[in-house]
Amino acid sequence: MANVRFNAETAQAIAASALRAQQGRMRIIAENLANANSTSKTKGGDPYRRQEPVFEPTPVAGGVGVRMARAQPDSSAFKTQYDPGNPSADAQGYVKLPNVDPLIEALDMRDAQRAYEANLNVIDTARTMQMRTLDLLKK
């Protein structure tokens, strides 16, 4: 087993990296939701493609945190809707719609929110522990 020592600064640095990663995740979710009903600008063209965040470990002060490395396109199929009057319709009258499901995005946003709150709690707890230690040393 690795020698593990508690270090409040390390805990806070790791949690802060997770906060930044979750902020990036929430930005991507917001972009997906904003484009959920968009269509192609060209006849028969592809609409907005849902993006997914990709996370990777990253070194932080005394530990390993996380960062959002990039956003990658979701390879799932586009939805189609028969709408021959739409300027984006193909020759058969079908319009491609984004592969964004607002329900999935809402669930992902809730998950990101909970992860963000959990990491805020880590920072708050580490800070409280530091303050209590300082209070004990003053006595």
Q: Which residue has the tokens 């319709």?
A: 89
The answer to whether 77 and 97 are in contact (CB under 8 A) is: no
Q: Domain span at residue 21?
A: 8-138
pTM for this entry:
0.85
The answer to whether 119 and 22 are in contact (CB under 8 A) is: yes
Rounded Cα gap, residues 94 and 96, in angstroms: 7
Give mean pLDDT, residues 116-126.
Answer: 95
Question: What token pair was written down for 54?
Answer: 């990709």
* 2 in any annotated domain: no
Number of domains, the chain: 1
Residue 14 backbone zone (phi > 0: left; psi -120 to 50: alpha; other: beta): alpha
Give mean pLDDT, residues 43-63.
Answer: 94
Question: What token pair was written down for 72?
Answer: 């990658």
Give mean pLDDT, residues 116-125.
Answer: 95
pLDDT band per the 50, 70, 90 thresholds, residue 1: very low
Residue 2 pLDDT > 70, yes or no? no
Greatest mean pLDDT among 85-94, 101-110, 122-131 = 101-110
Q: What average pLDDT does the chain have?
A: 92
* 3 in any annotated domain: no
Give mean pLDDT, residues 80-84.
Answer: 95
The answer to whether 98 and 49 are in contact (CB under 8 A) is: yes
Residue 60 pLDDT > 50, yes or no? yes
Measured N-to-C along each axis, helices 102-138 and 8-34 cross at an angle, to the nearest 10 degrees, of 160
* 1 in any annotated domain: no
Rounded Cα gap, residues 29 and 113, in angstroms: 11
Rounded Cα gap, residues 64 and 58, in angstroms: 6
Structure confidence at residue 7 (pLDDT): 80
